[in-house]
Amino acid sequence: MSEPDFNDFEESTNDDKYKVSEKKTVDEYKKLDAEDESLAKWKESLGLSSDVLPLEFPGDTRKVVIQKIQLLVDTEKEPITFDLTNETTIKELASKRYKVKEKSIYKLRITFKVQHEIITGLRYVQYIKKAGIAVDKIDDHLGSYAPNTKQKPFYEVELPESEAPSGFLARGNYSAVSKFIDDDKTTHLTLNWGVEIVKK
Distance of alpha carbon 106 from its chain centroid, rounded?
A: 16
188-198 average pLDDT score: 95
For the stretch 95-121, pLDDT in tens is 999 999 999 999 999 999 999 999 999
For the stretch 117-146, pLDDT in tens is 999 999 999 999 999 899 999 999 999 999
HEC string of 184-197 equals CCCEEEEEEEEEEE
Average pLDDT, the chain: 85
Q: Residue 56: which H helix or E strand, with range?
A: none
List % helix, strand, coil for the chain (3-state, nearest 5).
10, 40, 45
| Positive or negative torsion for Cα 132, 162, 97, 125 | positive
Band of residue 22 on the pLDDT scale cut at 50, 70, 90: low
**Higher-pLDDT residue of 28, 172:** 172
Cα 87 to Cα 16: distance, rounded to the nearest angstrom: 37
Determine the Cα angle at 161 with ends 158 and 163, to 5°: 150
Determine the Cα angle at 36 with ends 46 and 63, to 5°: 30
Band of residue 21 on the pLDDT scale cut at 50, 70, 90: low
**Higher-pLDDT residue of 1, 137:** 137
DSSP one-letter code for 167 = S
| Residues above pLDDT 90, as percent of the chain | 64
Residues in a beta bridge with 139:
125
Cβ-in-10-Å burial (0-12, 13-18, 19+) of 22 comes to exposed
Which of 1, 9, 3, 2 minimizes the C-alpha distance to 134?
A: 9
Q: What pLDDT does residue 13 have?
A: 45
Domains of the chain and any CATH numbers: 62-196 (2.70.50.30)
pTM above 0.85, yes or no: no
For the stretch 167-186, pLDDT in tens is 999 999 999 999 999 999 99
With a cut of 80, say whether residue 34 has pLDDT above it: no
Q: What pLDDT does residue 3 have?
A: 52
